[in-house]
Amino acid sequence: DIQMTQSPSTLSASVGDRVTITCRASQSISSWLAWYQKKPGKAPELLIYEAFILESGVPSRFSGSGSGTEFTLTISSLQPDDFAAYYCQQYNSYPLTFGGGTKVEIK
């Protein structure tokens, strides 16, 4: 199974900050990586797929990069609506696996 490791697990930031979350895969997954935003009591929302492609309707302040085993999600200017948990997911092979999550908190 491919293990996905996210860091940090918690991040404290202020509105307007640039935020970067890292996701590492235990083996190469090419660009088969997605990022999701999850708020309490709500369904997860797809932000990015294929490592860097922005899902339709997602604000352009979100961006993704990386390939192989190391990936990043960047929020260029943190907005109040962005305080949430973020998860990466590999879809290179079954079983599909998620990172442990990164909670972005208000500083």
Partner 1 sequence: EVQLLESGGGLVQPGGSLRLSCAASGFTFSTYTMNWVRQAPGKGLEWVSSITGSGGSTNFADSVKGRFTISRDSSKNTLYLQMNSLRAEDTAVYYCAKDGLNWGSYFDLWGRGTLVTVSS
The binding site for partner 1 (CB under 8 A) comprises 32, 34, 36, 38, 42-46, 49, 55, 87, 89, 91, 93-101
**CB nearer partner 1, residue 76 or residue 92:** 92
Please state the closest distance from residue 15 (CB atom) to partner 1, in A.
26
- From the number of C-beta atoms within 10 Å of its C-beta (0-12, 13-18, 19+), residue 46 rates as middle
CA distance 35 to 4: 12
- Is 5 in contact with 27 (CB distance < 8 Å)? no
Return the exposure string of 3-13: e unless at least 16 CB atoms fall within 10 Å of the residue's CB, then b. Answer: ebebeeeebeb
17 vs 91, which CB is nearer to partner 1?
A: 91
In the complex, the smallest distance separating the C-beta of residue 100 from partner 1, rounded to whole angstroms, is 5
Close Cβ partners of 43 (under 8 Å, ≥ 6 residues apart): none
DSSP 89: E
Q: Nearer to partner 1 by C-beta: 24 or 38?
A: 38
Q: How far is the CB of 13 from partner 1 (least distance, A)?
A: 20
CB of 43 to partner 1, least distance (A): 4
Q: In the complex with partner 1, which residue's Cβ is closer, 1 or 18?
A: 1
